[in-house]
Structures are given as C-alpha cells and as structure tokens.
C-alpha cells in the first residue's frame, strides 16, 4: 500500500498530491511554493481569497486543470506550527482520508516533510499517516445484501520524503499494525452476540495464537469447576452457551518473569440477569465484551511487533442471561481465590467474572495486572464519553500507563479508592464481599471490588463503558465501536520498564 520515494513528486502523474500547510501568515514556502510556481502564482491568490486554508484540520482541494502532471492538490490545514501534536496530525490525516474516500481516489502522493515540526519528525508523521488511514476509512461490513458493483478504494500511497527510506517504511508499518489491530477490535465489538458467542471468541483467540505462535489455553466449564471458579460460573448459570476462559501467553524474554497480565471482560451479551435492564439499556449490550476485544487487539499488535516483554492475556467469556437456572440476588458464591461474595445485583456481573480471571492471571505468573472492562454506567456519569476511568494500587505502574494513553490519545482519568470504599465492598454480613453495595460512587465500587482480588499485585482497572463505543462519526472512524485501549495497552507493553 505504501511506497517511499525521494524524487519525482512534481513529475509523476498522480491522481492527487497531499501537502501540509501551516498557518504562518506569510508567502507559500517549500513544496507549496514550487507548486505555486507551476500554477503561475494561482495558489497565492486562492490562499488570500480563502479557497485554500491552513486552519487546523481544514481540507482544501485545487484542480490543476492540466497545468501539471498531477490532477489535484489537497492541502491539509495544520494550524499554528508550534501547536501541532501527534494527535492533531493523526486526526488531520483521518479527515483527509475520509475526504479522499468520498472522492473515490485510488492512489495519491503525500509530501510527508510538509507535516513535520520541531516535535514531530518524518518517522512519527509516517506512523500517524498509516494509522489514520486504517482508522478513518474503517467500516463494519454488516449483513446487508451486497451489490455487484466493486467499491473503489485508496490502495496506493506514495510517500515523498528526504528522510531515511527504511526508517519511514518501518514507521508506516508500525502505524498500519496499530490501525489494523484497533479495527479488528472494532469488528469484534460491532458483531451481534448471536454471531459472537463465547465459543466464537475463543476460536478467534486460538486463530490469533496460531498466527503469532502464542501459547494458549481454553478452559471449559468442567475445568473451571475443578479450579473453583464459582464467580465466573455463577454468571454463566443461566446460559445455554458454554463459558470459556481464554488464555494467550507471549514470551518475549528468555525467562518467564516480570509478566504483564492483560485481563479483558468478555460478556458477549448482558441482559442484567434477574436484575434485568430496561429495554433501552439492553440495546447494544453486544458491546459488553469490548474489554476482551481491546486485549485481543493489543495481542495482535504484540504478535506483529514482538516486543521484549512477557505477556499473559486472560479473557473470561460468557453471556449473562435469564433462565430457571440463572443466579439470583441474595445468592452467595465462592470465587477461585476462596473469597465468598454476596450477590446483591446480577447486573454487576462483570466484576464477578473478572475476579476469577484476575486470580487466574496471577496463577499464570502475572506480576502486573491491567483489567479492561465496560464495567459501569457510573463512569459515564462521572467522566462522560471521551475519558476512560482508571483505578490503581500502584503509582509507578499507573504513571507508565498514563504516558502510554497520552501518546495514543486515549485519555484516562484516575478515580480514587479510599479505605471507606474498601469497607463498603466488604460490608456483607454473611460473605467476605458485597458485589454491589449501592449506587453512590458506583464506578469506584466496581474498581474497589476488583482490588480485593488483585491484592498486593500492582494493578490498574480501566472502565471503558463510556469510551468503547461512540454514537457519532469522528475524524478517526465511524459511529460504533472505537477499539479504545488497544493502542494504549500495546504501547504500555512496548515501553514497559
């Protein structure tokens, strides 16, 4: 898809050439000035009249009318040069590729060096370019009957730069891996639950393991009963679909030590159980496995890039439905850790399956734990739909994750867990823990409950209930699943110290 070149930008007959434009309030310079010369100064006139804009993320198109070998020029507004960040650049590229997709272009050239500043070099720009291409043009295929008319796609991008060709190719590859894996997670989350059961999710994970030579394990219901995974099995009791505990192991070091555990909630559909959700709240509960999708997406990146780290991924997969056998409020269940739990709310099921998954990740040698889950509506009330809630018991681990989230533009905000919060989840009079001690601080209660199973192991909880899907199209994708935390988790693993 990408070819890197140093010469020929002004001579090759491209469908379009893309140029970055900073708001400098001065005459056109560099590559833009050369195009201006070829077009007899017309770009200067168009810039003055506002037909070309350097405002941030503004896309301007100019037809060359046969004056050059190139048919069109696309200018991408980057705003003030000193304010350009990686995230702004990636979003600008995303908006560009949406525009090019609508124009049904099949090949373009990008003057990459026009998208750099003192903080963003050509390698970072290449990463942003390739990642944005995959993210912005993603569409969930769906299940409508297809027409026979083939869709035109942007298949060839020539990157022109004075930077080292091999380094640019490597950076573009990494960006492509990040974008593709995020889209893989999006597709899993967008898939209806009748077509993505726990078994289907396990089969997907096995294919991933076979492709990237991961060690894997799929626990069946009998295995879980022998291991005493009573919390996970309680949630599955009402279902005719068998549960699966999915484990993927990637060993990037000679010895199995300093292992990072990634745990993803895999509830393929959540009715709420006997604490049943209202009709409006039950729609889109196919997305309740977005945590599992994030972990699988991160493992795809890890499989492609092969970092020198050890990682174990653990995904408890089941649905939460109602039958005569389903678990009920007031039930008392025993988790794999031995801790007993009084069930006050069967719609607080995610923390139950994660409890056993966290214990099992430690069983596989995880020295650090990061769980990802669409856990609570409370986090949306607290932080809205653009910020992921986070809780932790370890400052150093959290700082590394925070840096990764800033780098990827997947913003997180830390919520506290106080001693009073811990007392609330331990408030049951007949069991060790209460799975839902009240609506107040609901998101924090979910995290505090999981902290009881992390115990002294460094741990972070990420509540993506608000960020895993979006109702609006945006610069880097359509409405629907976002694939949030795929890139943050992978970046954490790559940079982990």
- 325 annotated as a binding-site residue: no
3-state SS string over the chain? CEEEECCCCCCCCCCEEEEEECCCCCCCCHHHHHHHHHCCCHHHHHHHHCCCCCCCCCEEEEECCCCCCCCEEEEEECCCHHHCCHHHHHHHHHHHHHHHHHCCCCEEEEEHHHHCCCCCCHHHHHHHHHHHHHHHCCCCCCCCCCCCCCCCCCCEEEEECCCCHHHHHHHHHHHHHHHHHHHHHHHHHHCCHHHCCHHHHHHHHHHHHHHHCCEEEEECHHHHHHHCCHHHHHHHCCCCCCCEEEEEEEECCCCCCCEEEEEECEEEEECCCCCCCCHHHHCCHHHHHHHHHHHHHHHHHHHHHCCCCEEEEEEEEEEECCCCCCCCCCCEEECCCCCEEECCCCCCCHHHHHHHHHHHHHHCCEEEEEEEECCCCHHHHHHCCCCEEEEECCHHHHHHHHHHHHHHCCCEEECCCCHHHHHHHCCCCCCCEECCCCCCCHHHHHHHHHHHHHCCCCEEEEECCCCCEECCCECCECCEECCCCHHHHHHHHHHCC
- Closest to 261 in 3D by CA, of 165, 369, 120: 369
- 288 annotated as a binding-site residue: yes
- 265 annotated as a binding-site residue: yes
The C-alpha atoms of residue 318 and residue 232 are separated, in whole angstroms, by 9
User: Would residue 277 show up in a list of annotated catalytic residues for this protein?
Assistant: yes
User: Would residue 57 show up in a list of annotated catalytic residues for this protein?
Assistant: no
- 347 annotated as a binding-site residue: yes
Task: Considering the candidates 176, 244, 351, 362, report the single residue annotated as catalytic.
Answer: 351
Task: Considering the candidates 71, 277, 344, 495, report the single residue annotated as catalytic.
Answer: 277
- 249 annotated as a binding-site residue: no
Q: Binding site for Mn(2+): what residues are annotated?
A: 265, 270, 288, 347, 349
Catalytically active residues, by annotation: 277, 351
Q: Binding site: what residues are annotated?
A: 265, 270, 288, 347, 349
């Amino acid at each position: 898809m990408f070819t890197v070149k140093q010469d020929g930008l002004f001579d090759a007959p491209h469908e379009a050439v893309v140029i970055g434009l900073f708001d400098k309030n001065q005459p056109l310079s560099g590559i833009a000035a050369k195009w201006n010369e070829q077009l007899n100064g017309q770009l200067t006139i168009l810039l003055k009249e506002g037909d070309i804009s350097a405002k941030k993320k503004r896309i301007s198109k100019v037809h060359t009318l046969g004056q050059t070998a190139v048919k069109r020029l696309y200018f991408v507004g980057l705003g003030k040069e000193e304010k350009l960040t990686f995230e702004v650049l990636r979003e600008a590229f995303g908006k560009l590729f949406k525009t090019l997709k609508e124009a049904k272009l099949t090949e373009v050239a990008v003057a990459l060096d026009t998208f750099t500043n003192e903080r963003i070099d050509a390698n970072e720009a290449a990463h942003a370019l390739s990642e944005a291409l995959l993210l912005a043009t993603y569409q969930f295929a769906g299940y409508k009957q297809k027409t026979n008319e083939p869709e035109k796609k942007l298949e060839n991008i020539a990157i022109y730069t004075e930077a080292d060709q091999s380094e640019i190719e490597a950076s573009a590859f990494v960006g492509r891996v990040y974008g593709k894996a995020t889209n893989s997670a999006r597709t899993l989350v967008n898939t209806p639950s009748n077509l993505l059961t726990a078994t289907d999710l396990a089969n997907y994970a096995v294919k991933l393991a076979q492709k990237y030579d991961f060690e894997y394990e799929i626990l069946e219901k009998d295995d879980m009963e022998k291991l005493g995974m009573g919390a996970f099995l309680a949630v599955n009791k009402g279902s005719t679909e068998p549960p699966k505990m999915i484990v993927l192991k990637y060993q990037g070091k000679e010895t199995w030590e300093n292992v990072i555990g990634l745990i993803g909630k895999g509830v393929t559909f959540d009715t709420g159980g006997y604490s049943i959700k209202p009709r409006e709240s039950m729609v889109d509960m196919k997305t309740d496995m977005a945590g599992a999708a994030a972990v699988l997406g991160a493992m795809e990146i890890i499989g492609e890039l092969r970092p020198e780290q050890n990682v174990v991924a653990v995904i408890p997969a089941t649905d939460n439905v109602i039958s005569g056998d389903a678990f009920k409020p007031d039930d008392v269940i025993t988790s794999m850790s031995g801790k007993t739990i009084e069930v006050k709310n069967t719609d607080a099921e995610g923390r139950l399956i994660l409890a056993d998954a966290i214990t099992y990740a430690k069983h596989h040698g995880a020295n650090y734990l990061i769980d990802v889950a669409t856990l609570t509506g409370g986090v949306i009330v607290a932080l809205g739909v653009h910020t992921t809630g986070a809780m932790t018991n370890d400052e150093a681990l959290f700082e590394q994750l925070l840096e990764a989230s800033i780098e990827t533009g997947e913003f997180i905000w830390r919520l506290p867990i106080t001693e009073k919060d811990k007392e609330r989840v331990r408030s049951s009079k007949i069991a060790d823990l209460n799975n839902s001690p009240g609506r107040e601080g609901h998101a924090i209660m979910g995290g505090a409950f999981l902290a009881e199973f992390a115990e002294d192991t460094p741990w972070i909880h990420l509540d993506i209930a608000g960020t895993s899907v979006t109702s609006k199209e945006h610069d880097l994708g359509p409405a629907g699943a976002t694939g949030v935390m795929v890139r943050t988790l992978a970046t954490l693993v790559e940079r982990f110290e």
